[in-house]
Structure 1
Amino acid sequence: MEEYKELVEVLYTAGRKIRTAALQQALNSTETELIKTRFAEGDEELLIDMKPSEILKNELDKYGKERGTGIEIVGEAFSNKIVGNREPKYIVHVDVVDGTRETTHKVGLSYFEAGVLPWSDDPRLSDTCFGIAVAIGFDPVTGKLYSYFSGPKGSYKIDEERRKEILKPTDEKEFNNRGYFNTITSFRGTGVLPVLKDRMFEEMYGKQEAPDVFHREMLTSCGELINIAKGSTRGVMDLRPAVSLIADFLGLEGYKSPAGLCMHPYDVSGAWPIIRDTNKAVIKFYDSNLKEIKPEEIAIRNVKMDMGYIACGNEILFDKVRTSLRKVLGNNYF
């Protein structure tokens, strides 16, 4: 990361400014107003008087002008509202082992997320992508205000030899003897994954002692796509658009694929250069109804559409995942 130090600092600076502006506006609102807005019926919302995309753009413009390079903001702010009516008032967590339920209040959030894709003849920047996220949360139950700030989600420089190893066709024996597969879902879907993974493994490899195929769960796919490009991850499966289907299969209630929240701008900024540069990587995009969307149909500057995706390192792996999901979910999706 040393060679990107200046750009990273620019993103952190922009993130601090966005967070400060959001916090100042939030603190000027009373708890009563926030609670009233949080539980209001209809479309009533409390707005933050700020344009975070402009704050970020100004910082990056200054950086670019000083260095003679351009920097593109990939994706717009998801929301500049403290709370909205898209999120449910409550979340129901179900333990798939003992069936216990826990109902919790949903925290209202103001959040800004964007991917940043530098473009330049400078080889240090031409294959690099970053993401930034800022969130301000208010819990109407405790009355506490929360602040979340994440700087660059990751960067990648392609390890050409390792990438060739990852993306080349791989036989089943090698798959069976190596952990390689990361999965991604939303918080609402975490409880459904263990059973799904077990059944998918049985469909993919038959009944045997399972190696650590699905070796961890991530909550962001940008970093995992970057890992594919770097050659450190063999494959990744994003299950966010399929959460409600999986829950239906398992007979669970309260799990719905979040409309409009499946794909984040920093996911796009991670995926797009990988589609561009790793021409053998299989990256399949779907909406929350699991209808495939062609990469060239994606509006890079506007990712507010209801969309998620499944991405895999190579075609053999993708075919295995798609086939097993079809069998496990009992439908013709994917």
Structure 2
Amino acid sequence: MMDWTDRHCRVFHRLLTRRARLYTEMLTSAAIVHGDRARLLAFDASEHPLALQLGGSDPRELAAAAEIGADFGYDEINLNVGCPSDRVKEGRFGACLMAEPELVAACVDAMKHAVDIPVTVKCRIGIDDQDPEQALDRLARGVVAAGADALIVHARKAWLQGLSPKENRDIPPLDYQRVYRLKAAMPHVPVIINGGIASLAEAKAHLAHVDGVMLGRAAYQEPWHLLEVDPELFGEAAPHTTMKDAFEAMMPYIARELAKGTRLHAITRHFVGAYHGVPGARAFRRYLAEHGVKPDAGLNVLREAIAQVEERKAAAMAA
């Protein structure tokens, strides 16, 4: 979720579910070790439980980045060896590392020795011409032997030759059964499934076979799904019952960020799917797109955008 799940997005999502674990966008170990770590790793205390997702292939550098992340207060370090981005492939990290399972295991081992918090691995079922039966088992057994605390498996191959990153999210067929077989073969290892899961009903069906479910695009593009997570999966009340209530709870955070010089659009760009399927959703998106990008845009813009929805919902109910 590079360029998507930044700290503003995560604060918003935490207002929709207390229990789901949130993940950062993937950050390279080099950027954390050598760059502006305060800017890259800053997060709001409300975001816990929160995992830092790393990309890299140098065990020592990854260990250093993991230690920095743990010192910042993250609850988990996740190594991404599933992202098919061109930038990732050129940097020798992400999905291309599925061709080097021994190196991935060495990276996990180094991180485990550097931190006391869980270290997990996110991967695909294979890449290019690999046989997923062999490739996934080999990677999984190697990283578990190295100490990985859990595996998150996107149930698609990544075709690094011939498909774009966007195409890799949709074209390779989903093979959930392959992830189920991995869990059956490694019953004591937590296995989380990912890829193409569009609803809480689908997530609950997967939980009959695996230990957890990761939502990516569904959670981002239609965040109202997250309002269902706590009641449906944990038997607890959601933090807020409506999206309007969640936005009201978000207002103090936005006000603080605006006072620091953050532009409103940097935050509201994560809200565009909030009212998907609700009367007024298009008007909400259009209002934010037209007014949220202005240099002086403030809370009044978000309030007016919400009013666009509430007015149309009231009209629909009265009709």
**TM (normalized to structure 1)?**
0.21
**TM (normalized to structure 2)?**
0.22
Determine which structure has the larger helix proportion and give its number.
2
